[in-house]
Copies of this chain bind each other. A is one copy, B any other.
Amino acid sequence: MRSLHKGKQSILLEHQPSILASYSVVGKKEGQGPLHSYFDLVSQDTKFAQSSWEKAESQMQLLCLQGVLNKAELSPSQIDMVYAGDLLNQCISTSFCLRGTDIPVYGLYGACSTMAESLSLAAMAVSAGFGEKVIAMTSSHFASAERQYRFPLVYGGQRTPTAQWTVTGSGAIVLAPDGAGPYIQAITTGKIVDKGIKDANNMGAAMAPAAYDTIRAHLEDLSLTPTDYDLIVTGDLGSLGKQIVLDLFQQEGVDIGSVYDDCGCMIYDLKGQDVHAGGSGCGCSAAVLCGYLLPQMIKGVYQKILFCGTGALLSPVSTQQGESIPSVCHAVSISAGRS
């Protein structure tokens, strides 16, 4: 059962795993955005009854894990492995969430691309028969991210127009070899792309070339055109990064505008919610995929989507040392039916 290995970066899965269940948890601000009615759990308490923001994020991820297990009617002991990670130093949200669950775990770091990375690796594991029930999961929290990457909240720092707002959210997916779908059809593994952007408050511009690079590789590797998808969705470039992706395709005469959107632009009302360029953070694309997009596929709104998680692989230290921002984008092709 050797899977086809098409082109340089893409894998067309011979056995296409099924999504058994997806679950999303978000905070108060996300619960006031345009997708508010789609999330499985909206918490008005963004501290999730914990004593620190870091513990709050971990608790949120645990609620998401419990939620997806309930939805799939599975106990933790039935899960073969979890692929998960988050934005906090040493991925503590994930480690502390999974402590006590007794589920084998592979920790990941892909910055905001983590939902696509975890879904890629989980799909490979299930497709190859290394697990029967495998979870892909991630989270981010506005307050824990702000104080780690930028300033303590009480400092009241001004945000630049290109800055994005880290989503308080978590998403989790259970994959199995068979089921009613949607199905993971193909994955494209991202390369690290760095076009020299040094402004840590303009991650959309840093990540957009990585998104373009991976989407282009995916289409080329699998001989597809953009309109073979009902939706190509990046997560999360925000309004500026989204426009750069459109421009980069336009430059080679391809208009992807009719099928393209960005999770960072979808999760908030960009005009009314004071989030500047839009949402970011691992939890952004995770919550939009798990809460909104996958249920829409089940309803028949989309037949085929390309989910492209984008990550800015900077750290406060690399920024202080004057470095530019390396970025990555992993793409996962998801289909309502098996083709």
Contacts and interface: CB of A to CB of B under 8 A. Distances in A.
B130 A192 contact: no
A80 interface: yes
Contact of A109 (B90, B101, B130, B323): B90
A98 interface: yes
A125 interface: yes
A256 interface: no
B3 A104 contact: no
Given A52-B321, A106-B117, A117-B107, A128 B3 contact: yes
A132 B328 contact: no
A279 to B, nearest CB: 19
Interface residues on A, range: 35 or more
A191 B55 CA distance: 20
Contacts of A314: 90, 92
Contacts of A120: 106
Contacts of A51: 321
A91 interface: yes
B108 A107 contact: yes
Given A1-B2, A124-B125, A125-B124, A81 B189 contact: yes
B99 A110 contact: no
Contact of A2 (B3, B129, B316, B330): B129
B117 A124 contact: no
A129 B326 CA distance: 29
Interface string A78-99: 0011000100111110011011
A189 B316 CA distance: 32
Contacts of A131: 5
Interface in A189-223: 189-192, 194
B95 A313 contact: yes
Interface string A120-141: 1100110111111000000000
Interface string A304-316: 0000000001111
Contacts of A100: 192, 194
Contact of A124 (B98, B102, B128): B128
A153 to B, nearest CB: 15
Contact of A95 (B8, B124, B125, B192): B192
Contacts of A101: 191-192
B129 A127 contact: no
Nearest to A316: B89
A111 interface: yes
A154 interface: no
Contacts of A125: 124
Contacts of A81: 189
